[in-house]
Amino acid sequence: MTQHIKILPEKLCNQIAAGEVVERPASVIKELIENSLDAGADKIIVEVERGGKKKISVVDNGHGMGRDDIFLCFERHATSKITTEQDLFNLRYHGFRGEALPSIAAVSRLQVISRNVVDEVGTKLVVIGGKVIDHQQVGVGVGTSFEVKDLFFNLPARRKFLRRDETEFGHVAEVVTRLALAHPAVHFKLIHNGRTIIDLFRQNDHFDRIVAILGRSVVPDMIEVNQSDDQMSLSGYISRPSLTRSSTVGVYCFVNGRFIKDRVIHHALMDGYRQLLMKGRYPLCILFLQLDPEKVDVNVHPTKHEVRFHEQHKVHNFVSQVVRQQLRQLDVAKAKDFVLPDPATIDATTREKQLKTLFTDGSGSTSTGKNEIDVCGEHSDCIENGAKEKIEAPHYEDTTEVAETVSEYLSVAKITAETTSQCRKEESLPFEQAGYFSSLTVIGQYHHSYIVCEDTDGLVLIDQHAAHERIGFERLKTQFSLGAVEQQELLFPVVIELSLREDTELRQCLDQVKLLGFNLHHFGGKSWAVTALPVYVDTSDVKTMICDVLAEIGSVGVSRLSQDAFDAVLIKMACHGMIRANQKLEKVEMVALLQQLDEVDFNRNCPHGRPILQRYSLHDVEKMFRRL
């Protein structure tokens, strides 16, 4: 009898397993850095060549390994992190499966040198393609260093799928950035082709590390988040709706210190920004969610980027409500604004020392060529999930130009914790004060679309349609939530004729349409008589408005109508009844509009996320006219 099912050889099994854990050089670096963090390291140096395809080196000052542990760590499922089944559901380490090191060793030429505090000498082990080639005792300090060369040398089919050096390094830089954000007390250094790219010294808290990575310019638009209940806590920083990106590249979410890409958390975050962002725009955020390890399962995906919450709805609601509450407070209270020192306040000696530290190549000489990437200055849009084809900074002729360009970064990235803490202060932006819009002095109307105003120190332009749209939406939403949308009876019913599809949709969702403040009665065939409309909507084109509402409901289906879907319908209704662009307003109407704007939440953006106002300080205006 022919036997078709066979047990695969161990070498092939290891290579298959490596394919799940080791996708690219960045995967190797992630696993090695996480091992360093689990070993208690507070300084980690990562060095790569050709994006990690040629060489990867990770050196730490953790507690190290003894001789027996070094040999054992390359056995599959050998780990010091867990011992019992219960430990699997109470994880407090990054790694726990014991798969990473044997997987890496199976597809590379690997060398590890390590020593713990007990041993007088360290141990060096060389592993090629999963086989131990050499081992010996060496003199070395406490800690561990891994050197991985020629990744996928024995799997040419896998190696050819690696991308260009710049692309692979983009992934590497993103991994280091994520881990550095989560561990501000650890000194991270990243070197590429002999050039120091990232050098983040130990910092006191997440704020200092966030400033060093995201850059000075985003700080005024970041809002601190710090709330907790009896089951979980959420801390970190989120951006004002005015600061967005075209992708989720600026969204960093951590659960118990572990970076994750979780749909529940992402949806909760975007739910918190509901009606505050334009379509296709995403906030910047660095959020740290802490909860009982037993209530989250991280053993879901080989990369551990996905997790499963035991009570997803509670986590979702908590994150969404915290974010929403912080954004709502922008309208009624002072927002925390972090002001950083001017670069000129840093003494010249300190800046020169910082420059030498950051812009030196492996030989110690100052680099004047192209920097391949700078993820530590202004937040790098060039690394979109680490997948940009080419990541280069401009070419500079000399180090003086480099120094002038990066001086603001240096004043942040290398600043001492003491100086940073002294520079934090609470300050309120003028338009975040309660009653701000009512306090404005109306100058006039520009292009029959924008209200021109002034405050105590600035020129303010207000989009009249966006402002009225927010007012109408918030009023409709409040009435809808109370189950009583205010109606206006029509003196004469308006008879509309619908298409077959629209007529079918209306019959299916007639009850929901009535909840929105419409009164409709069947008038025979596909005709309907409209006898009442919501107060805040336009009566001039009833059919178009009804059809738009039906289309919005039909896009999600009656059975799946949710708060989000109703909000979308209310936005559509509000848009139909509002003051339009190119509509002339009297001054008394403009004043009334501003007063009404003070009475609603989220009055900085229209329900579609577009800004309602633009403010130019006297300083900004004088700069325009070269008076400064």
Domain positions in the chain are 10-162, 195-428, 430-466+582-624, 487-534+537-576
Instruction: Report the distance separating Cα 350 and Cα 361, nearest Å.
Output: 20
Q: What is the mean pLDDT of residues 382-408?
A: 35
Phi/psi for 364 (5° steps) reads 95, -5
Looking at 414-534, list the stretches that DSSP marks H as alpha helix, in order from N- to C-terminal side: 417-423, 436-439, 464-481, 500-508, 510-515
Confidence band for 532, pLDDT divided at 50, 70 and 90: very high
pLDDT over 90 at 269, yes or no: yes
- For 12, counting Cβ atoms within 10 Å of its Cβ (0-12 exposed, 13-18 middle, 19+ buried), the class is exposed
Q: What is the pLDDT of residue 362?
A: 40
Q: What is the mean pLDDT of residues 122-139?
A: 93
Instruction: Report the distance separating Cα 264 and Cα 313, nearest Å.
Output: 8
CATH architecture classification, 10-162: 2-Layer Sandwich (3.30)
Q: How many CA atoms lie within 13 A of 276 on its CB side?
A: 26
Instruction: Report the distance separating Cα 145 and Cα 475, nearest Å.
Output: 62
Q: What is the mean pLDDT of residues 146-152?
A: 95
Rounded-to-10 torsion of CA 69, 73, 78, 81: 70
Instruction: Report the distance separating Cα 515 and Cα 270, nearest Å.
Output: 26
Highest-scoring range by mean pLDDT, 227-231, 243-247, 297-301, 366-370: 227-231
Highest-scoring range by mean pLDDT, 13-17, 144-148, 298-302, 418-422: 144-148
| Buried/exposed 478-501: b ≥16 CB within 10 Å, e otherwise | ebbeeeebebeeeeebbebebeee
Which amino acid does the sequence have at 211? Answer: V
Q: What is the pLDDT of residue 184?
A: 94
Instruction: Report the distance separating Cα 67 and Cα 122, nearest Å.
Output: 8
Q: What is the mean pLDDT of residues 487-508?
A: 87
pLDDT over 90 at 590, yes or no: yes
Q: Say what the pTM is.
A: 0.64
Contacts of 549 (CB under 8 A, 6+ apart): 513, 516, 518, 569, 572, 573
Q: What is the pLDDT of residue 245?
A: 86
pLDDT digits (tens, 9 = 90+) for 1-55: 566 677 767 666 665 555 566 889 999 999 999 999 989 999 999 999 999 999 9
Q: Which of 248, 330, 245 is nearest to 287 (CA)?
A: 248
Q: What is the mean pLDDT of the chain?
A: 78
Instruction: Report the distance separating Cα 517 and Cα 485, nearest Å.
Output: 5
Q: What is the mean pLDDT of residues 285-303?
A: 83
Q: Which of 424, 226, 213 is nearest to 338 (CA)?
A: 424
Q: Which of 203, 217, 180, 167 is nearest to 377 (CA)?
A: 217
Q: In percent, how much of the chain has pLDDT > 90? A: 40
Contacts of 608 (CB under 8 A, 6+ apart): 275, 278, 279, 469, 571
Which token pair is 12? 């092939």
Rounded-to-10 torsion of CA 347, 349, 351, 354: -140
Higher pLDDT, 481 or 59: 59
Instruction: Report the distance separating Cα 417 and Cα 201, nearest Å.
Output: 10
Q: What is the pLDDT of residue 84?
A: 57
DSSP 8-state class, residue 579: P
**For residues 567 and 275, is the Cβ–Cβ distance under 8 A?**
yes
Identify the CATH homologous superfamily for domain 430-466+582-624: MutL, C-terminal domain, dimerisation subdomain (3.30.1540.20)
pLDDT over 50 at 497, yes or no: yes
- For 511, counting Cβ atoms within 10 Å of its Cβ (0-12 exposed, 13-18 middle, 19+ buried), the class is exposed
Lowest mean pLDDT among 41-55, 126-140, 344-358: 344-358
DSSP strands (E only) in 95-221: 109-115, 122-128, 131-138, 143-149, 187-192, 195-200
Instruction: Report the distance separating Cα 322 and Cα 447, nearest Å.
Output: 40
Q: Which residues pair with 528 in a beta bridge?
A: 496, 522
pLDDT digits (tens, 9 = 90+) for 73-123: 887 665 655 455 554 455 555 655 557 888 899 899 999 999 999 999 999
Q: What is the mean pLDDT of residues 253-265?
A: 90
Which token pair is 534? 């919501």
Instruction: Report the distance separating Cα 377 and Cα 37, nearest Å.
Output: 25
Establish whether domains 195-428 and 430-466+582-624 are of one fold: no
DSSP 8-state class, residue 540: S
Q: What is the pLDDT of residue 522?
A: 93
Q: What is the pLDDT of residue 275?
A: 84
Confidence band for 323, pLDDT divided at 50, 70 and 90: very high
Q: What is the pLDDT of residue 555?
A: 63
Tell me the pairing of strands 187-192 and 43-49. parallel
Q: What is the pLDDT of residue 90?
A: 55
pLDDT over 70 at 338, yes or no: no
**For residues 107 and 18, is the Cβ–Cβ distance under 8 A?**
yes
- The three-class DSSP label of residue 252 is strand
Lowest mean pLDDT among 80-84, 170-174, 186-190, 429-433: 80-84
**For residues 79 and 88, is the Cβ–Cβ distance under 8 A?**
no
Rounded-to-10 torsion of CA 529, 532, 535, 536: -10
pLDDT over 70 at 331, yes or no: no
Q: In this structure, which CATH number among 1.10.10.60, 3.40.50.150, 3.30.1370.100, 3.40.50.300 belongs to the domain 487-534+537-576? A: 3.30.1370.100
Instruction: Report the distance separating Cα 341 and Cα 407, nearest Å.
Output: 12
pLDDT over 90 at 238, yes or no: yes
- The three-class DSSP label of residue 455 is coil
- The three-class DSSP label of residue 289 is strand
Q: What is the pLDDT of residue 83?
A: 52
- The three-class DSSP label of residue 126 is strand
| Buried/exposed 559-575: b ≥16 CB within 10 Å, e otherwise | eeeeeebbbbbbbbbbb
In words, the CATH class of domain 195-428 is alpha beta
- The three-class DSSP label of residue 343 is helix
Q: In percent, how much of the chain has pLDDT > 70? A: 74
Lowest mean pLDDT among 23-27, 174-178, 240-244, 573-577: 573-577
Lowest mean pLDDT among 75-89, 257-271, 407-421, 430-444: 407-421
pLDDT over 80 at 272, yes or no: yes
Q: What is the mean pLDDT of residues 132-142?
A: 93
Instruction: Report the distance separating Cα 171 and Cα 383, nearest Å.
Output: 8
Helix axes 165-182, 25-38, angle to 10 degrees: 20
Contacts 24+ apart (CB under 8 A), 498-501: 498/526, 498/527, 498/528, 498/546, 498/547, 498/550, 499/526, 500/526
Q: What is the mean pLDDT of residues 173-183?
A: 94
